[in-house]
C-alpha cells in the first residue's frame, strides 16, 4: 500500500515510516521541521518532503494515490499554560482539519491517528466506599504538605488507581491534551461525513533510541538520561510515586503497522486503542532503573510539584490485543536499561 506519513522526520514518525517500509509498504513522508522539534534551520532528511501539513494544495497532490494516511505530525510538550493554546490549536487542530479536508478532496478514506493518553487527564480511580469516581482536584495545601494523591470527591478518602479503558471519559488538563482530543473529534466527524475509517492510537509514555534530548519534545525518560550524562542525579518530582506506562518506540511502530494494515471496512468511524506496555511503573522506579544502568548517581526525590500534573494514568492493553492483535514485547525493565545507553537525537 501507499502510505503518507506526516511528521516523518520526528522521533515516532521516522520510526513508523521505517517500520512500514520494512513491511513492504510504499511510504511518502512529510514534515514541517519545526524548530521546537529539530535543530533550528534543519532540513528534512532524505526521503522526507519538507512540507507543512497545513498546506492544503501541496497535500492534495501528495494524497492523489494514497491508500492510508498515518498522521504523526503534532506539536507536543507539556502545554500547561493557557498562553500555549494558540500554538497547539494552530499546529494540531488546524493541521489535522486541513489534512482531513485534503483527504476528503482526494477520496482517501483510511486514517491512523497518533493520539495520546493525555486525553484521559487523571486516570481511572476507585474508592473503597464509593466505587469508581472522578477524583477531586489536588489541593494546594495537600501538595505543599507532600500529600500528592487525589482524594475521593465524596468522602475525602484515599483512592486507588485502576486501568484506564478506551471507553473512559476524555478530560484534557493541558493545551496539548485539549488539542489531541480535538484531533480525535475532527477525525470522528470526518469519518461520519466521508464514510471514513480511523484508528486512533493513544500512545502512553514513549521512549527509545533516537528520542529527542533536552527539548520540549523530550519525555521524562530522556530528561533523566540527559542529566545522568552530565553526571547529575535525576530530579524526581513529588515523591516519585506517580504511576505511568512506559512503552518502547519499537512497540509503538508495531502498533502503527498493525493499525495501517487493519484499518478498513470492518472499522466504523473512529476506533481508539491504548498503546502501552501493560507493565506500569512509578516515575521513581523508572529513574532508578536508568541511573543504575548508567552507573550514575541515585535519583533525588525533590518533593517539587506542578499542580496541573496527573498523579496516576495507566492503561488497559486488552482492547488493542483483541482488536489489533497488538501486545507490547519490550517490558520496561529491559527497555529502560537499554535506553540508558542508547543514542538520543541531539546528544
Q: What is the pLDDT of residue 62?
A: 93
CA distance 250 to 12: 9
pLDDT (tens digit per residue) in 4-58: 999 999 999 999 999 999 999 999 999 988 877 777 777 888 889 999 999 999 9
**Whole-angstrom distance, CA of residue 96 vs CA of residue 187:** 8
C-alpha to C-alpha distance for 252 and 310, rounded to whole angstroms: 22
Whether residue 95 has pLDDT greater than 90? yes
Q: What is the pLDDT of residue 347?
A: 66
What is the grid cell recorded at 69? Answer: 494516511
Pairwise CA distance, residues 180 & 167, whole Å: 16
- 249 pLDDT exceeds 70? yes
Q: What is the 3-state secondary structure (H, E, C) of the chain?
A: CEEEEECCCCHHHHHHHHHHHHCCCEEEEEECCCCCCCCCCCCCCCCEEECCCCCHHHHHHHCCCCCEEEECCCCCCCCCCHHHHHHHHHHHHHHHHHHHHHHHHCCCCEEEEEEEHHHHCCCEEEECCCEEECCCCCCHHHHHCCCCCCECCCCCCECEEECECCCCCCCCCCHHHHHHHHHHHHHHHHHHHHCCEEEEEEECEEECCCCECCCCCCCHHHHHHHHHHCCCCCEECCCCCCEECEEEHHHHHHHHHHHHHHCCCCCCEEEEEEECCCCCEEHHHHHHHHHHHCCCCCCEECCCCCCCCCCECCECCHHHHHHHCCCCCCCHHHHHHHHCCCCCECC
Provide the pLDDT for residue 265: 72
**Least confidently predicted of 82-91, 111-120, 197-206, 283-292:** 82-91
What percentage of residues in the chain have a pLDDT greater than 70?
A: 97
Q: Is the pLDDT of residue 233 over 70?
A: yes
**pLDDT value for 183:** 98
- What does the pLDDT look like over 165-216, one tens digit per residue? 999 999 998 899 999 999 999 999 999 999 999 999 999 999 999 888 765 5
| Residue 43, pLDDT score | 85
Query: How many CA atoms lie less than 13 Å away from 100 in the CB half-sphere?
Result: 26
pLDDT number for residue 214: 66
pLDDT at position 81, please? 76
Go through the chain and tell me how many residues it has. 347
H/E segment holding residue 201: strand 197-203
Cβ–Cβ < 8 Å for 304, 232? no
Mean pLDDT for the chain?
92
Calculate mean pLDDT across residues 107-123.
95
Q: What is the pLDDT of residue 255?
A: 98
- pLDDT of 272-307, one tens digit each? 999 999 999 999 999 999 999 999 999 999 999 988
- Identify the weakest region by mean pLDDT among 17-26, 112-121, 337-346: 337-346
Using CA atoms, how far apart are residues 127 and 161, in angstroms rounded to an integer? 9
pLDDT surpassing 60 at residue 217: no
pLDDT of residue 77: 76
Is the confidence at residue 117, as pLDDT, over 60?
A: yes
d(CA 250, CA 148): 33
pLDDT of residue 79: 63
**Nearest Cα to 329, choosing from 273, 249, 256?**
249
Amino acid at each position: 500500500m501507499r502510505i503518507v506519513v506526516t511528521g516523518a522526520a520526528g522521533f515516532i514518525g521516522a520510526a513508523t515510516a521505517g517500520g512500514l517500509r520494512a513491511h513492504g509498504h510504499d511510504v511518502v513522508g512529510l514534515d514541517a521541521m519545526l524548530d521546537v522539534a529539530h535543530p533550528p534551520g534543519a532540513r528534512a532528511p532524505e526521503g522526507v518532503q519538507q512540507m507543512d501539513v497545513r498546506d492544503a494544495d501541496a497535500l492534495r497532490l501528495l494524497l492523489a494515490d494514497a491508500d492510508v494516511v498515518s498522521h504523526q505530525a503534532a506539536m507536543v510538550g507539556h502545554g500547561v499554560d493557557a498562553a500555549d493554546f494558540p500554538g497547539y490549536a494552530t499546529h494540531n487542530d488546524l493541521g489535522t482539519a486541513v489534512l482531513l479536508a485534503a483527504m476528503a478532496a482526494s477520496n482517501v478514506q483510511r486514517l491512523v491517528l497518533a493520539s495520546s493518553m493525555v486525553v484521559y487527564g487523571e486516570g481511572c480511580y476507585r474508592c473503597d466506599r464509593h466505587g469508581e469516581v472522578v477524583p477531586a482536584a489536588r489541593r494546594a495545601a495537600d501538595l505543599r504538605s507532600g500529600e500528592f494523591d487525589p482524594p475521593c470527591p465524596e468522602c475525602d478518602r484515599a483512592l486507588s488507581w485502576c486501568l484506564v479503558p478506551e471507553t473512559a471519559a476524555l478530560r484534557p488538563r493541558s493545551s496539548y491534551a485539549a488539542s489531541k482530543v480535538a484531533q480525535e473529534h475532527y477525525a470522528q466527524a470526518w469519518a461520519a461525513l466521508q464514510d471514513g475509517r480511523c484508528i486512533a492510537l493513544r500512545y502512553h509514555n514513549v521512549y527509545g533510541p533516537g528520542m529527542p534530548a533536552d527539548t520540549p519534545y523530550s519525555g521524562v525518560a530522556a530528561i533523566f538520561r540527559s542529566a545522568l550524562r552530565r553526571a547529575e542525579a535525576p530530579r524526581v518530582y513529588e515523591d516519585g510515586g506517580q504511576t505511568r506506562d512506559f512503552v518502547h518506540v519499537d512497540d509503538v511502530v508495531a502498533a502503527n503497522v498493525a493499525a495501517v494494515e487493519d484499518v478498513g471496512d470492518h472499522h466504523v468511524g473512529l476506533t481508539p486503542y491504548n498503546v502501552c506496555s501493560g507493565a506500569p511503573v512509578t516515575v521513581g522506579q523508572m529513574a532508578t532503573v536508568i541511573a543504575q544502568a548508567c552507573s550514575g548517581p541515585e535519583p533525588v526525590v525533590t518533593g517539587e510539584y506542578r499542580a496541573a500534573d496527573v498523579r496516576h494514568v495507566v492503561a488497559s492493553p486488552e482492547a488493542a490485543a483483541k482488536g489489533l492483535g497488538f501486545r507490547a514485547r519490550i517490558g520496561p525493565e529491559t527497555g529502560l536499561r537499554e535506553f540508558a545507553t542508547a543514542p538520543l537525537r541531539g546528544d
